[in-house]
Structures are given as structure tokens and as C-alpha cells.
Structure 1
Amino acid sequence: MPADSVSRMDSNSSNNEQNLLDNILGTSPGAKSLRERTESESSDKLARFVLPSMDGSPPKILTLNELSTVLKNIQNMELAHEIALNPEFKLEPYEPPEDSLESRIKEIMHKAFWDLLREQLQQDPPCYDHAIQLLTDIKECFPQILSPKNMRALDRIDDVLDADVIRQQAEKGVLDFRSYALFVIDMLSKLCAPARDETVQNLKKIEDVVDTFKGILETMSLMKLDMANYLIDFARNDIMANSVEYEKEKFKEYLQIYKFGFPATENWLKRNRTLDDNNVPCTAEQAINNAYIDLVDWSEENKFPEVLSMDKDRLLKFTNRANRLCACASLIALSSALPIISQRTDNRVALAKQIEVLMQDVITEKDMSEAITNIFEQIKSFINKCLNKENQPNVEEETLNLLKMHIMQIADKNSSVRTLMMKRLKVFFRLGMRSNAGLPAPPPGFEHFKDELEAYTTALKRVIKYNHNVFGDYFLKVLTQERQVTETSTTVENTESNN
């Protein structure tokens, strides 16, 4: 049977989906906490690893099994974390690297399987041993792509693809192999997702019966993937709720072992503990909120908080997205200095859409610098077209040069206009973080980028809320201890001063 055939799609297919969800939710038996080493673990005794300590506490000794458990827990946690935070998370079919040994072996096995099937069917009389096994495998695959609630369809498939009946037909020489292929195709057409309709219909156009069954297996493999992704989508809310608790528990266990602290995380929190007009530090909760706002426009000069490492790439992409949004708002604000834009809503909306398209491939500040000249030319062309429609002369050269000078400054994120837009974006996001009833109205300059602004805010808010649920208690502890140390130090200094 080939590697992607029904019988080898998964040897434990009946339990696949539940096992997948158990692993995702971190409830599988393998998701154990680090345990105390006992003398009964004789198989581990030859392989132990020391996790050193630098704070005077005893070093932690891990066995190979314990290390494997830690790694497995981390993998499960990362998978659950990704599913919870990425609405577009999808499983993808695995294909071995091209020209690899695995790829060549797979190709050889597939060819051998289908060649044998073709050879048996061409015998006189035909031999159906391979064909009967193939139909049995297809029958066993249907429960993997069908909801358990669809018992009528499963019963129908069970009756038609009865191995004993098929074998009797073969022995009597009346087995119509192609009719079974058409039955399977008909069932697939009723059960598949709309996106697979065309693929299933094309199976009917294949004249060669062996090629037909080959296409059936490939289609069923895709449908199995569809079912797995459906299960993930269906369970996403449960995954999020359980993965938060799972990560909190694993983080607590980690803190019991790792005593070195997280300096970048602590610096990030303390850096955002601002002072009021009376030189009094803000509360721990306010400092945490300030730290979250800091993530909107993260500075590369600062070390990224260690505890947010799983979301580092995601959060840095949000920074790039925020900078792109602010650049778009800056460009439309500068262009609105011309009456043909500021006094014509339709023109302003159309230009904003063009700017958004032009900026969609701008990711880094380097991209911004390289693209800004072309963006100015597009804006100039758009403005002159609008003027021509109203039979007005093109923009004067002096005005154009002034506009170009200001637009070219947008390439610098520290320019006055972009700085203003970033402040507005942060205020908007802070308000959005506080609100549970929806987002506020877009700030000035962002009105025509409302969809992207709201999508950005909702997505970033989701990531921050998730991490706050996991690490919020730890953040409060860090800031509370820091304040206690500061107050104690101040008290000692005042006492010494009075003495």
C-alpha cells in the first residue's frame, strides 16, 4: 500500500482527532510535570542531566525521560498557543523534500502498488486480491472524513463496501470494480467541503479505473485534512481556554526550577512604571498597561521580554504593521494639504485606498525608504488626474516640491508627522484595550484606514490579553516586589538622613 494510501493515512485513525485535541489541550497522559527522581527509574540511571543554579539553590537533576517530557510539554504548549492566537492556523499536508531519499522511496512504493493493481486487473481472468484490499481500506477511511453523527451515510458505506460480498462477486466473475469507484465518488461528492466539489467531479472524467482510484485516495487524503482543520476550528475556544491554564501551570513549574529571573522582562515592566506630576510611581496595573502599549512600537534597542518569546515574531510584525498604518495616515494627511483632496471626500477615499495598496509590501523601515519615492510619484499622478477631471491646472511645481519634501520625510519614523500619528495610534489602542463593548472612533488621519486599524487592534489585543492571562500574576509580582524594595530603600535613606 502506498504511503499516502488509505491504510497508511494513520494506523490509529479512529482515535486521531481525539489524540490531536488531547495533545493540543495539554491533557494527554504524556503532559506530566517534572517529577522527583526515584530509585525505581533504573532505565534512566545512565543518562542524567544537571540544570545548573547560580543563586545558591541546589542544582536540578533531570533524567533523559524527564528532559523528553519537558520538550514534549513545550511542543504541546507551542502548538496550543499558535492555534489559540492564529485564527488562520491550518494543518498542511506533509510532503518529503524533493529529491530526498524519503521522496524517492515514496515514489517507488507508490509506483509498485499501482503497477501491481493494474497487473492483477489485466490478468485473464482478473485477480481482485489487491482491489478488494483497496476497497476495504477506503471503507475504513470514511469514518475519518465523516462526522460520527452521520450514521446513515456510514451504514450505507458499510453495506455497499462489504468485503465478503465483494469477494463473492470476484469469485463468481461478476465484480464490477469501476461501479464501486463511482459509488465512492458519489459519496465523496455528498460529503466533501464545497472547495473540493470540482476535484471530486473531475474524478468522474478519468477513464482508467486504476487512475480513478488513485485520484480517489488523493482526494480522501485532502478531505481528511479538511476534517482535521474543521476539528481545530470547532475546538478553538476550548483550546484557548485550556491552553491558558496549561501555560500558567507550566510557567509555575518552570519558575520552581529556573531561579535566575528574566532581566529583559523585568526591565520592560520597570521602564514603563512612569511617574506622575508629584514624582509618585504609577500603580503596577498602570505600569503593565504602559508596557503593553510599548509593544505597539517596539524599539530594537531594547531586549525583548523573555516570557513573550513565543510571540516575539508575531509582536514584531504588529510593530511593522503599526508603522505602516502610521505612514499611510501621514501620507493622506500631507496630501490633504491640497484642496482637491481635503475638499473632495471621494478623492480622499480613493487616494487612501491607493496608498494602502502601495504600502502593503512595505514591511521594514528599509522598505519604506525604498518605496517612498515611487509612492510620491503615484500621489502626484493621482492629484493631477483629479485636477484634470475638474478642468483645473496641474499642481504648481513649487507646491509639488514642498509636498515631495514632506512626503520624503515620512521615510523617517521619527519625523514629526509620523510621530504624531504613532501617538494617536497608541491612544486609540489604549482606549481599545480598556473597552469591552467595541472600539472607539478612529483618530484623525486614520478614518480612511478604519478596517485595517480595527483588524490590527483586535488582533494585537487578542495576543496581549492571552499573554496577560498567562503571565499577568507574574508581572504584578515583579512590580510589587520592585516597589517594596524601592520603598524600603527610601525609608532607610530617610532614617539615616534624620539621624
Structure 2
Amino acid sequence: MPANSIPRRMDSSGSGSETNGNDGALSSSPGASSLRERTDSESSDKQTRFILPSADGSPPKVLTMDEVVDVVKNIQNMTLVHEIALNPEFKLKPYEPPEDSLERRIRDVMHKAFWDVLREQLSQDPPCFNHAIQLLADIKECFPQIIPANNKRLLDHINEVLDVTVIQQQAEQGVLDFNSYANFVIGIMAKSCAPIRDEEIRKLQEIDDVVDTFRGILETMTVMKLDMANCLLEFARNDLVANSVEYEKEKFKEYLEYYKFGFPATENWLKRSQSQSQDSNGVVSTPDQVIFNAYMDLLDWNEADEFPEILSIDKDRILKLSSRALRLCAAACTIAISSSIPIISQRTENRVALAQEIEVLLQSVANNSDLENTMENVSLHVQTVIKSRLQEENSPPLDAVIENTLKSQILQIGKKDSPVRSLMWKRLQTYFRLVLRSKSGMPPPPPGYVDFKGELETLATAFKRLLTYNYSVFGEYYVKVLTDSEHKNDEKPTDNSTTATVDKDQAGESPKTSPTDDTIAANGPDTNTST
């Protein structure tokens, strides 16, 4: 199937197909050609040059509009490939304008007008088929987008039946049977659609009104285009993922050719980690170790710091992982504290059930503020569960002092300086470090996280996939930033201070291999560095 046969924007309501149809009508109209010619000839974009200043003292770069567009397109393409590589569930989704937006209102008005005109023309005596013929022509153009190009025989048959010249002659002779064309189109769609669309095709066959039938045809064709695009994407996924790292690295290098200002937030993020990754003698860790520790900082990002620009493409993903880590830690803390009560610690079924209920209560927590506000409800729920379980076993209720202590400790989980939370967070970080350095398999859950093994492993796997991919693409740039920073520090005069030096053979070098999961595991940073 030709690449240009996939629609550039898809609409789930069927109006996307209608819009495409109208676009086709406009592009074939007599005025459209002259409009394009006038636009091309009068536009100054092709001649305009843009000067991109340089921040490193080199001469400024002169770009044409086409080159600017190419830079933007490269970033957009890189974003798409990046998403496909990191998200196994990625699929193209139908486009729908926001509710109450101007675009939505204009679209709805135009589409309603189109169908109203079609209905009015078909109701005339004799019927007017101008809109109907154009509609059939648009439908004919849609078929190559939902039928593989290698099915040439079927496509030729469609072109033969939906020959606009023949249809026009039938209309002029008053023998055009619009319903028969609808049945033909539905029949072809039934043979070509995915099984999931069989029910929609069946409903089309039950519609009596011809205008409603064609409207339904366009709506169904729109989702069939989406099905075909996702099918092609699935077939190409393995190749895309296999080549995505090199593709992104190449596009990033191309971007750096135009953009010489650097990435200050990224550099500050790495340098903060570099300054924190020193041993007691002031010896700085290797670049890989520094990068590793910088990655770990992402799990508990300080909102006062600007987020690294290079990671902006994954910012939402990282913040969601961070929120999941926060919820997981809070849930583990709650179970650890609740396990001081024998009815919880000595009854596995009670502990497991409580752990699942706490996970549900914490689902809406996205940050520390949310957590602090939610812990009151968590505390009340824990007390209710304990009271209920004690009653079931005819055991005496909790002593008031123990109950108050339990409540106080659970509420403290909402504060970052909680001793229990600090301990459980360190255990979580240690587990993540082990996962990142592991070549295969998952390490056992740390103490306190056994009841959350599923979420723990899923979260750690997602975090590892993200960081491994990011390191593979940008690791060379990160190492360059760190080695350049060390060179600058070496050049500064020191007075009775120990200055970390960089091995001359490694200074300024980039990693010689393309990092993978095994690279981080085998050559990654030492987790015994201070953070």
C-alpha cells in the first residue's frame, strides 16, 4: 500500500471522510488550480531566508523556509517513532475536534449543509445527482486507502464500476440507480473490513434511507482507514523499533546542526548529579554513574528545577511513572505500619486484601500534596478494616493508645520526612537500581513490597525501558556535557582543594557502543554512589 494512501488526519465521526471528500472536490475544481498557481507564484516563502543565530561564536546559519519546515518535521517524526518504540500499545487514534471549539462548530455546520443539499437534490423531480456523483467519486478515491495495493484485481473492478463518466451518463439519461451503487460499495466494504467492523457493515445494510446509508458508509470508511493504518503500523513495528534508536540519534544530530544554544536545563540536571556523585575524597564518579544517578532523580523530581529539555518528549511519561512510584511507596508504607497489628500481619488474606484496597484509595494521587490530603481517608479505612476483622474473630478492640499511634504514623506517610516513608523510598530506589543493572530476570521484591509485586515489576520494567532507550539515543551527548564540564573545572585554578580529573584517553569521548539494556547492566553506573 502506498505510503501516501494513509490519511493525514482521521476523524471517528465520519465527518473526516466527508471533509476529505470536500477537499477532493475543491482540489478538482477549476478555480482551485488557479488559486494554487497564484499562491505558489506570489508566495515569498520559497525565497525567504532565515538567519539562525549561533551561541558558540560560530557564523550564523542561514535557512530557507523549506529547511525550517524540515527541522520541524524531523522533530515530529522523531516524536512518533519514539512513541512507537516505547509504547507497545501505541495505535493511531481518530481525530475529533474539541467539544465546543470553533473547528467543531464549523465542521458540523458544513457537514450538515452537505447532507441537507444532497437530500434536497435527490428529492427534486427529476432528481439532481451533482452531489451524488461527487460523493461516489470521493468514495472511489477512499478505496485504495482501505484495500491493499496488491489486490489490484479488486481495485480495478471498483474503478470500473465507479467510473464517474459512466455514472454521469446514467444521470443524464435518467437511469442512475443511486441505491444500487450504495449496495455495491457496502458489499466491497464487507469483503475488505476487519472482523471488528462486521457489525457496523450489517447495520449499514439495514438502513433504508439512501442519504443516511451513504453517510454511514463514509463514517465506516473512516474507521476502516484507521484500521488499515494501524495494521500497516503493526507490520512495520518490529522494523521501526529495531531502527528507532539510530533514527533518533541521526535526527538529533541533524537538529544540533541548526540549534547551537545548548540545553541549559539538561546540563544543570547532569551537573547537579555530578556534584552529588562524589565520594568522601571528592572524587567524581564516572560519566555513566553520574547519568545513572541523574536518572534516579527523575523518580522524585523537584518541581523547583526546570525539567531537562531533552527529556521533554517523555516528561508526561516520566511524571506518571513518578506518581506511580509515589503511590506504590505510600501503599507499602501503610501496609508496613498496619502490620504492627497481629490481625493484619498474621493473616495473609487480611494483609493482601488491605493492600489491594489501599491501592484503590491512592489511585487519584499524583503528587505529594494529593498524598497528604488522601492519607486521612487511608487511615480511616485501615482502622475500619482492623476493627471489622477483630470483630469477625471475636477479639477485643484495639487499645486507644495503639489506635492513635497507628493513625498518627499513617498520617505521617503524607510527609516526605516521615521515617517510614524515607526507608521505604530508599528500598524502592535500591530495587530500581538492581533492575536497571540486571541483565535478565527481576530481583525479588524488597521488604514491605511483597504484596505489591505485580505493580512493582511493571513499574520497574517501564522505567528501565524508558531510561535504556533514552541513554541509547542521548548517552553520547550526556557524556560530552559531563566531560566538557570536568574540563572546565580542571582549567580553573584551585587552592588547597582536590580537583577530580578525567582520564585523558576518555575525556571528550562518546560511548563506543550503542547502549542497550545489557549496556546499562554491564557498563552502567555503580549503584553504591551517593545520591
TM range (shorter): 0.7 to 0.9
Question: Are 1:335 and 1:403, in contact at CA under 8 Å, matched by a contact in 2?
Answer: yes
Alignment of 1:436-455 (within 5 A): 436-455=439-458
1:377 aligns with 2:380: yes
d(CA) in 1 for partners of 2:331, 2:344? 15
Tell me what 1:28 maps to.
Answer: none
Tell me the residue number matched to 1:94: 95
Cα deviations by residue, 1:92-122 (Å, 9 ceiling, x for unpaired): 4334455666545434443343234333433
The answer to whether the 8 Å contact 1:6/1:138 transfers is no
Where does the alignment leave 5 or more consecutive residues of structure 2 unmatched? 1-13, 26-43, 499-531
Residue 239 of structure 2 is aligned to residue 238 of structure 1: yes
**Cα separation, 1, equivalents of 2:98 and 2:312:** 29
* 1:211 shift after superposition: 0.8
Q: Which letter does structure 2 place at the counterpart of 1:430?
A: R
Please give the alpha-carbon distance, in whole angstroms, between the structure 1 residues aligned to 2:214 and 2:467: 49
* Structure 1 residue ranges without an equivalent (≥5): 13-41
What does 1:465-476 correspond to in 2, within 5 Å? 465-476=468-479
The reply to whether residue 145 of structure 1 matches residue 146 of structure 2 is yes
Deviations 1:410-444 (A, max 9, x none): 11122111111211111111111122323222222
Deviation of the 1:396 alpha carbon: 3.2
**Which residue identity lines up with residue 388 of structure 1 in the other structure?**
Q
Cα displacement (A) at 1:332: 1.4
CA distance in structure 1 between the partners assigned to 2:291 and 2:59 by the alignment: 33
Counterpart position of 1:416: 419
Cα drift, residue 88 of structure 1: 4.2
Alignment of 1:36-115 (within 5 A): 47-53=49-55, 55-96=56-97, 102-115=103-116
Give the counterpart letter for 1:281 in structure 2: V
Q: Deviations over 1:141-164 (max 9, x none)?
A: 222123335556546655665657
Say if 1:333 and 1:171 are closer, same or farther in 2 by CA, change over 3 A. same
Deviation larger for 69-78 or 472-481: 69-78
Counterpart-to-counterpart distance in 1, 2:207 and 2:108 = 21
TM-score by length of 2: 0.76
Is the Cα–Cα contact under 8 Å of residues 49 and 64 in structure 1 kept in the other structure? no
Distance in structure 2 (CA, Å) of the matches to 1:110 and 1:9: 10
Give the structure 2 partner of residue 461 of structure 1.
464
Q: 1:299 aligns with which of 299, 302, 312?
A: 302
Partner-residue secondary structure (3-state), 2:51: strand
For residue 258 of structure 1, report the CA deviation from its aligned partner.
4.6
> Is the partner of 1:412 in helix, strand or coil?
coil
Cα separation, partners in 2 of 1:450 and 1:255, compared to 1, 3 Å: same
Tell me the residue number matched to 1:4: 17
Between 235-244 and 366-375, report the one with greater CA deviation. 235-244
- How far the C-alpha of 1:289 sits from its partner, in A, is 1.6
Contact 2:146/2:225 (8 A) holds in 1: yes
Distance apart, 1:359 and its partner CA: 0.8
Deviates more, 1:274-283 or 1:373-382: 274-283
Distance in 1 (alpha carbons) for counterparts of 2:15 and 2:452? 51
Cα distance, 1:254 vs structure 2: 4.3
- Asked if the contact 2:133–2:164 (Cα under 8 Å) also holds between the matched residues in 1, the reply is yes
Closer, same or farther in 2 for the Cα pair 1:278/1:366, shift >3 Å? Answer: closer
Query: Following TM superposition, by how much is the alpha carbon of 1:130 offset from its aligned partner in structure 2, in angstroms?
Result: 4.1
Structure 2 counterpart of 1:385, one-letter code: S
Matched residues, number: 465
- Deviation sequence 1:220-277 (CA, Å, 0-9, x none): 1122123223333433343344443333234334445555544433333343342346
Q: Is the 8 A contact 1:428 1:440 kept in 2?
A: yes
- Whether 2:493 is the aligned partner of 1:480: answer no
1:293 offset after TM fit, Å? 1.8
CA distance in 2, matches of 1:379, 1:70: 55
On the 8 A contact 1:114/1:210 being kept in 2, the answer is yes
Q: Supply the distance in 1 between the matched residues of 2:169 and 2:45 (Cα, whole angstroms).
A: 53
RMSD: 3.5
Tell me the distance in 2 between the aligned counterparts of 1:44 and 1:117: 41
Residue identity matched to 1:462:
R
How many Å separate the matches in 1 of 2:354 and 2:188?
A: 51
Superposed CA offset, 1:322-381 (max 9, x none): 111111111111111112221222222111111111111111211111111111112222
- Residues in 2 aligned to 1:245 and 1:266: alpha-carbon distance in whole angstroms: 23
Shift of 1:52: 4.6
- 1:247 maps to 248
Q: Which residue of structure 2 lines up, in the alignment, with residue 425 of structure 1?
A: 428
SS of equivalent to 1:48: strand
- Contact 1:6–1:141 (Cα < 8 Å) also in 2: no
CA distance 1:436–1:223, change in 2 (3 Å)? farther
Give the TM-score taking structure 1 as reference length. 0.80
Q: Contact (CA 8 Å) 1:6, 1:221: kept in 2 or not?
A: no
**Partners of 2:394 and 2:153 in 1: how far apart?**
70
CA distance in 1, matches of 2:289, 2:129: 74
Asked if the contact 1:341/1:383 (under 8 Å) is kept, the reply is yes
Contact 1:145–1:223 (8 Å) recurs in 2: yes
Question: Which residue of structure 2 aligns with residue 38 of structure 1?
Answer: none
1:213 aligned partner: 214
CA distance in 1, matches of 2:246, 2:301: 28
Deviates more, 1:284-293 or 1:386-395: 386-395
The 1-side partners of 2:215 and 2:334 are apart by 55
Kept in 2, the 8 Å contact 1:432–1:439? The answer is yes
